[in-house]
Amino acid sequence: MKKAVLNESRCDKSPFCGAKHACPVGAIKFVRQGIFSGKIEIDKEKCIGCSKCVKYCPHNAIIMK
């Protein structure tokens, strides 16, 4: 099964990530790394391969692989 993979160079690392909110199983999370910064992580174990996040990312930063 293909799973969601993040291209970090395209990701804008927003805490308001639309793809995070679209994921039905909570596999995408914003990890805070400072007061104003953080990054998006995708939990491969949780991902069920639905590809919803691909459609909701405005930066095309997620692909199914």
Check residue 11 for interaction with ligand SF4 (CB under 6 A).
Answer: no
State in angstroms the smallest separation of the CB of 10 from ligand SF4: 15
State in angstroms the smallest separation of the CB of 22 from ligand SF4: 6
Residue type, 22: A
Q: How far apart are CA 34 and CA 23, in angstroms?
A: 24
Q: How far apart are CA 56 and CA 19, in angstroms?
A: 5
Q: Which two tokens stand for residue 41?
A: 């992580």
Check residue 28 for interaction with ligand SF4 (CB under 6 A).
Answer: yes
Q: Which residues of the shown chain bind ligand SF4 in the complex (CB under 6 A)?
A: 4, 22-23, 25, 27-28, 42, 47-53
